[in-house]
Structure 1
Amino acid sequence: MGSNFFHHPDGWLGTTPWWKDAVFYQVYPASFKDSNGDGWGDIPGLVSKIDYLHHLGVDVVWLSPMFESPQQDMGYDISDYQAVYPRYGTLEDVDTLIEACHSRGMKLILDLVVNHTSDQHPWFEESRSSKLNPKRDWYIWKPPRYDDAGQRKPPTNWRGYFAGSTWTWDERTQEYYLNLYGPFQPDLNWENPDCRAAIYKEAARFWLDRGIDGFRIDTVNKYSKRTDFIDAPVTCPGAQHQPAPEMWCNGPRIHEFIHEMQTQALAPYGAVSVGELSNTPHPKQVLPYVSAASQELDMVFEFSMIRLGTGNLFHGKYNYQPFPLSVLKQHVATWQTFIEGTDGWHTVFCENHDNGRAVSRFGDDSTPELWEASAKAIALWQVTLTGTIFLYQGQEIGMRNMPASWGIEEYKDVESLGFYKEAIKAGDQKKVDTILHGLRILARDHSRIPFQWDASPHAGFTDAGAEPWMRVHDEYPSLNAAKQLADPESVLGFYRAALRLRKEYRDLFIHGTFKLLASEDEALFIYLKESEKDTGRGTGGERRKALVVMNFTSQRQRCPDIGGLLGSGRGREKLMFGTKRDSQTAVGGGEELTPWEGRVYVNFEF
């Protein structure tokens, strides 16, 4: 494979924001690397692996929440924004991590989790202490309703993300507080200006002053709720609580709040921002968040593609829904093209800490051969898409979902267990079986098992005598980073080379336009990338073009007419690189694409 990658110097883009061309890499700290043998990953462990990330081609490390927390939702329930959870390390360890990144020309961003706090945060402890407390209005409190029989009811019928009501009763002050997630995660009231000012100071500027470079911003479009607090329409008949994202996503003041956060907390530091934008499936809704003129966010994660296969997020999330390739392609095309002709920007990703592994969802991990081929096809797909690329830990070595043989006792996530327990409580075995099947494909737990570093006990994640907080994958002796580092033709080797190529041809792959071809084909994924402008480099005054052709099946497929699709004429197309181990076969092209083979053809000399 290595011989199929070519260096091409370019400087045509001029000055662009650094984060557009950067490779971001998400680290889930509990599962990355344990340095002290307690079975829990930590910041010193991450520091010890910075050179691994640097050599992969990572420019920015995104560290998921490592703040002080009761850990009921793996750190997304923060009890102190300015302290580090002791099992992760100390503030000094964060300083060491910042230095380790900066000394290698890399940057560090943290999670900004400010839709809610832990119920053990001092702000909330004050808020619930009395209706007269100055911080009472920093959270969202409402009196109960009563039915005709005089029974107390929550203020609305809204269902939360982790099952059950979005409202939790507080006996002391005789009111309910709002929690879109768990009852241990009360929502902050962004309508209160003092609350917002404290968020900017304590959760954002504190870390920017220490030298971090920006934030991934959690649940970024949920800060502005509708304030009339009315019942949601009944869309799930018979259910006590109803889905109600329209009540809290993209609310009436959301753009005002984000613009304020940008101008008061982020812009003075030149901090990069990427927002988690859920339940926002229409491009016209997304563009205002990422338009440069709006001064809100640099980019966002839009989840239409990565949510493929999931059912209704509130009642049937884990009712797995198979989908054809044509549906995946249409989602990709929609979000690859929505910024064309605008001042917005886009992200490229297929994994994160909230979803199953890409090779198990979009590829084929049924045999070692198909696993490797499809993991490389997914890599080629990702590195040739327009936007800023985000990798998740283990993606670069093709880490798989937990084995199907593992029982529910191996699942740790509050959401997974919430849906499972709800099915058990319903007493419906068919529903239980459906949930278990969906969890085996989609559960958040799959992405959270320990990183597979080598073939030593516990995959090198922790000491041999330690007990990892989550079980290590059974196949770590054959699927690990050390083995792949020794093999330049491995999945890891392919990612390293492909990421270099992505930057060398940034005009095509990072900034180029996207055109989906053969949209209804259920076997081949084909698209045309075209540079934004004439580069004047061997194209006869034409824009450079790249044709990406991938076989997204486990059977051989006939290769299409490359010259015709590329517009170069038969015989004039050039194979730039491909996924096959057999370099000679890949360079020669061929009339057939082997299972999960991918190729990139161009219309210029390189």
Structure 2
Amino acid sequence: MEQPGWFADAVVYQIYPRSFADSDGDGIGDLRGVIGKVDYLADLGVDVIWLSPVYPSPQDDNGYDISNYRDIAPVFGSLDIFDELLGRVHARGMKLVMDLVVNHTSDEHSWFVESSSGPDSAKRDWYIWRPARSGMTAGVPGAEPTNWTSFFSGPAWQLDEATGEYYLHLFSPKQPDLNWENPDVRSAVHEMMRWWLDRGVDGFRMDVINMISKTLPLTDGSTVGSVIGSEQFLNGPRVHEYLAEMHREVFAGRTGRYLTVGETPGVTVDDARLYTDPARGEVDMVFQFDHVDLDHDGSKWEHIPLRLLDLKACFGRWQAGLADLGWNSLYWNNHDQPRVVSRFGDDGQHRARSAKALATVLHLHRGTPYVYQGEEFGMTNFPFASIEDFQDIESINHYRQAVAGGQDPAAAIAAMRIAGRDNARTPVQWDATPQAGFTTGTPWLAVNPNYVEINAAAALADPDSVLHHYRKLIALRHLEPTVGRGDFTMVLPHDEQIYAFTRRLGHTELLVLANLSGEPADPGPLPEWAAAEILLTNVPDGAAVLLPWEARILRRSL
């Protein structure tokens, strides 16, 4: 078995810049705001910062609709300020990874502007254009080239009135899909990536990268599932070829320790083994979605309670599947997922303890952990009351479609309150001053009203806080090789309250015990661990029976 790379011992911190820290009072986070928090991140102990998109963009999808890949949006700063940030990050011994969004561009990108100028455009084939369905008139409902639907509701095809043809957009109509079958597109992407690496960035997180290859010819998709046609563009026929080519063209011959992680909805364990096999030269790791699909039924808006047995089975399958080949990424939160302490924990009576327990479980698995801004001190979901409280295009489009289809507006809001992406995008709660210290102006998205109690300053001042627990977990990964490189064995797989597993490397074994419930739980006799060292716990002086949301990490020598 090939040993994992340097990233086995690393922790990544994701910054969503609009909501991280605002330096100029316009209500939108920016790069100078990030610069002001570099020391905070270094003191937390993280090794890599993943920066969500800061490129020029019309902001239809909050920056994931890029109009220029080689610049910084003025609302965030400039290339000079970016270079200053990069220098500060490197000076503190951390790396910086950019978000790479190349399944699609903005419709305001110069490439698409030229492509849409007419059928004879030199860049017409840079995007996916098709005429109306055979025998139908363009613009008539149902005339779209296929029946595919968008992740943001409605058809995945937009009619261009000027040329009478449709272009494909798997997300917003303002996010047309690039045609990766065209080698000129691939070359342009590779050149852009090399430009950022030459500038000093340390790798890329690749947005929906397993959608870049579509099955040809494009035909109607299965109507099973919430997104029609997904079986024809998830993990498509040439995706591995494209990623291997990207790796050769962009990273070959470079010295340095880069990080590449692909966002891959719908990926299986077998797929992930291919994507992350070092010998294949594609990506270091992928984001899988299995565990964040466990609490909804088909659609993300159909919430069901999480069963711990399902979570253990899911994580256990991924741990086993990538045990001898490839690598896991580990995450609870990101800019697309609601806050984990509200989702899988208890954001009321046991907020701090459940946040620590969930963090302990995640960080002690085999893989590279990702921390999303505010997660480290236990930020919660927002109490959304009406559609006016939301900013996210996915939520707003869902609400319109659901209400138009007859759903009670209150029920639609209730579902969005649980699953909406804006939960992750409320401003970071830095302190108890107005607007949580995020801005001196009016924030682009409302600050959670619980910021007076839940904020980074209060967490820093409390040695028993969630934040200090995260610091200890990150330090443990750096100090104890078993955390990053040991093997994984699930314990008590059928227990409905306790999540337990061991990690072993050489003569060292760790045991993780976590009661992920609101009631006491008894793990049973563990005589071989009676004399073990307690490395970390969220309940001092714990008894044999685990208290609600209690977590322990034990170590023994074999």
Flag whether TM exceeds 0.5 (same fold): yes
Question: Which of the residues 404, 409, 420 maps onto 1:443?
Answer: 420
Partner residue, 2:320: 337
1:350 aligns with 2:332: yes
- CA–CA distance in 2 between the matches of 1:114 and 1:34? 27
Q: Does 1:544 align with 2:495?
A: no
Q: Which residue of 2 aligns with 1:361?
A: 343
Matches within 5 A, 1:375-524: 375-403=355-383, 406-429=385-408, 432-463=409-440, 466-507=441-482, 509-524=483-498
1:209 Cα deviation after fit: 1.2
- Residue 491 of structure 1 aligns with an amino acid whose one-letter code is V
Paired position in structure 2 for 1:105: 93
CA deviations over 1:133-158 (Å, ceiling 9, x no partner): 11000000001015679946000001
Deviations 1:375-397 (A, max 9, x none): 11012112211111111000100
Which residue number corresponds to residue 119 of structure 2? 131
The question of 1:174 aligning with 2:168 is answered: no
SS at match of 2:358: helix
1:283 aligns with 2:296: no
Q: Does the CA contact (< 8 Å) of 1:337 and 1:513 recur in 2?
A: no
C-alpha distance in 2 between matches for 1:19 and 1:386: 11
Deviation at 1:427, TM superposition (A): 2.5
Q: Partners in 2 of 1:133 and 1:140 — Cα distance?
A: 13
- Asked if structure 2 preserves the Cα contact closer than 8 Å seen for 1:320 and 1:437, the reply is no
Shift of 1:234: 3.1
Q: Which position in structure 1 is the counterpart of 2:286?
A: 300
> Could you say what secondary structure the match of 2:209 adopts?
coil
Tell me how far apart the structure 2 counterparts of residues 132 and 188 of structure 1 sit (CA, whole Å). Answer: 17
Partners of 2:309 and 2:3 lie apart in 1 by 37
* Matching residue's letter, 1:436: I
Deviations 1:213-239 (A, max 9, x none): 100011111111011111113337xxx
Higher mean C-alpha deviation, range 510-519 or range 63-72: 510-519
Q: Percent identity?
A: 42
Per-residue Cα deviation, 1:491-512 (whole angstroms, up to 9, x for no partner): 10111112111221122x1111
C-alpha contact 2:10 2:369 (8 A) present in aligned 1 = yes
Q: How big is the shift at 1:573?
A: 3.1
Give 2:432's aligned amino acid: A
Using the TM superposition, give the Cα deviation of residue 19 of structure 1 relative to its aligned residue in structure 2, in angstroms.
2.1
What CA deviation, in whole Å up to 9, does each residue of 1:424-475 have, x standing for no partner? 111232xx44432221111111000000000000000001xx1100000101
* Matched AA of 1:512: G
Given residue 296 of structure 2, which amino acid in structure 1 is its aligned partner?
T
For residue 207 of structure 1, what is the aligned residue in structure 2? 196
Distance 1:552 1:233 in 2: 38
Q: Does 1:263 align with 2:248?
A: yes
Separation in structure 1 between the aligned mates of residue 217 and residue 61 of structure 2, nearest angstrom: 29
Question: Comparing 256-265 with 406-415, which one deviates more in the overlay?
Answer: 406-415
**Partners of 1:600 and 1:242 in 2: CA distance:** 41
- Give the SS at the match of 2:338: coil
Inter-partner Cα distance in structure 2 for 1:521 and 1:329 = 10
Moved more, 437-446 or 21-30: 437-446
Q: 1:268 to 1:402 in 2, by over 3 A?
A: farther
Alpha carbons 2:358, 2:516 under 8 Å: kept: no
Task: Supply the distance in 2 between the matched residues of 1:420 and 1:27 (Cα, whole angstroms).
Answer: 27
215-224 vs 593-602, greater mean Cα deviation: 593-602
CA distance in structure 2 between the partners assigned to 1:186 and 1:223 by the alignment: 12
Query: Which deviates the most, 509-518 or 295-304?
Result: 509-518
Question: How far apart are 1:560 and its partner, in Å?
Answer: 2.2
Equivalent-residue separation in structure 1 for 2:137 and 2:229 (angstroms): 26
State the shift of 1:253 in Å.
0.8
Q: Does 1:197 align with 2:187?
A: yes
Q: Deviations over 1:497-555 (max 9, x none)?
A: 12111221122x11111111222211111112111xx2xxxxxxxx3211111111111
Taking only aligned residues, the RMSD between alpha carbons, in angstroms, comes to 1.9
**Matched residue type, 2:546:** L
* 3-state SS of 2:351 partner: helix
TM-score (norm. length: structure 2): 0.96
Distance in 1, matches of 2:438 and 2:212, equals: 37
Aligned pairs (5 A) from 1:79-90: 79-90=67-78
SS of the aligned residue for 1:26 comes to strand
1:389 alignment partner, SS class: strand
Q: Matched residues in 1 for 2:456 and 2:137: separation?
A: 62
Tell me if 1:159 matches 2:138: no
Number of residues paired by the alignment?
554
Q: In structure 1, how many angstroms separate the alpha carbons of the residues matched to 2:52 and 2:555?
A: 38
> Is 1:576 aligned to 2:535, yes or no?
yes
For the 8 Å contact 1:310–1:442, the answer to whether it is kept is no
Q: Tell me the secondary structure at the aligned position of residue 62 of structure 1.
A: strand
Provide the C-alpha distance between the structure 2 equivalents of 1:382 and 1:317, rounded to a whole number of angstroms.
22
Return the alpha-carbon distance in structure 2 between the equivalents of residues 402 and 75 of structure 1: 22
Name the CA distance, whole Å, in 2 between partners of 1:95 and 1:479.
32
Name the CA distance, whole Å, in 2 between partners of 1:148 and 1:489: 66
Q: How far apart in 1 are the matches of 2:374 and 2:495?
A: 30
In the alignment, the residues of structure 2 paired with residue 242 and residue 74 of structure 1 have an alpha-carbon distance, to the nearest angstrom, of 21
Residue ranges of structure 1 left out of the alignment (5+ in a row):
1-12, 535-542
How far the C-alpha of 1:179 sits from its partner, in A, is 0.4
Q: Distance in 2 between matches of 1:433 and 1:516?
A: 41
For residues 255-278 of structure 1, the C-alpha deviation after alignment (integer angstroms, 9 at most, x for no partner) is: 110001111013344432000011
- Secondary structure (helix, strand or coil) at the match of 2:39 reads helix
Preserved contact between residue 503 and residue 509 of structure 2 (Cα < 8 Å): yes
What secondary structure sits across from 2:412 in the alignment?
Answer: helix
The 5 Å alignment of 1:12-27 reads: 17-27=5-15
8 Å Cα contact 2:132/2:166 also seen in 1: yes
After TM superposition, give the deviation of residue 15 of structure 1 in Å.
Answer: 8.6
Distance 1:518 1:223, change over 3 A: same
Q: Where do 5+ consecutive residues of structure 2 fail to align?
A: none
Q: Give secondary structure in 2 for the equivalent of 1:600.
A: strand
Corresponding residue for residue 3 of structure 1: none
Deviation string 1:547-585 (CA, Å, 9 cap, x unpaired) is: 11111111122242222xxxx2x63333222112xx3x1
Moved more, 137-146 or 114-123: 137-146
Contact 1:214 1:266 in 2 (8 A): no
Aligned to 2:303: 320
